[in-house]
Amino acid sequence: MASKLSQSGIPESSRNTIINCIIKHLMDSDESEGKTSTNRLATGDAASTVADADKDVQRALSNIEQLNPNHPLIQRVQRDTGIRDPQLATQYTEQTLRAMKEHANENPERMRSIFMSWRSKKERDLDGSFLHDGYDSF
């Protein structure tokens, strides 16, 4: 996926942020709609099989509706990356989403791993582990 994105013209400084925005968007969408596909991955609940987990990721990525400058995902990308031009934010997000879909089809276990890594980071941040990273002295 990194090689696909490196050829996309998306600034390196924005690539990971856009991926994180897409994952957060999927998690937030699932929570608000009561779905479990990506939340099962985010919370560590086991899918019935690894293949089901891989399909959950592929399905979630494919279910992102048509993107436009007013789409909540694009607004999140603009806010988190600092990209002011909504058309550019839309273009970069579409390219990243396309690369993520391709990666999910070509290397599903790696894409599942990305979702699980995001979950681990979120849990570490939520449980206060950030305090052990040098931020506990004020």
- Mean pLDDT of the 87-101 span: 96
- Mean pLDDT of the 98-118 span: 85
- What are the structure tokens assigned to 89, written together? 């934010």
Quote the CA–CA distance of 36 and 14 in Å, as a whole number: 28
Residues with Cβ within 8 Å of 104's Cβ and at least 6 positions away in sequence, in order, are 54, 57, 58, 61, 111
pTM of the prediction? 0.74
Quote the CA–CA distance of 67 and 84 in Å, as a whole number: 16
pLDDT at 129: 46
Per residue in 20-78, pLDDT (tens digit) is 999 999 887 765 555 545 555 544 555 556 667 778 888 889 889 899 999 999 999 99
Higher-confidence residue of 137 and 69: namely: 69
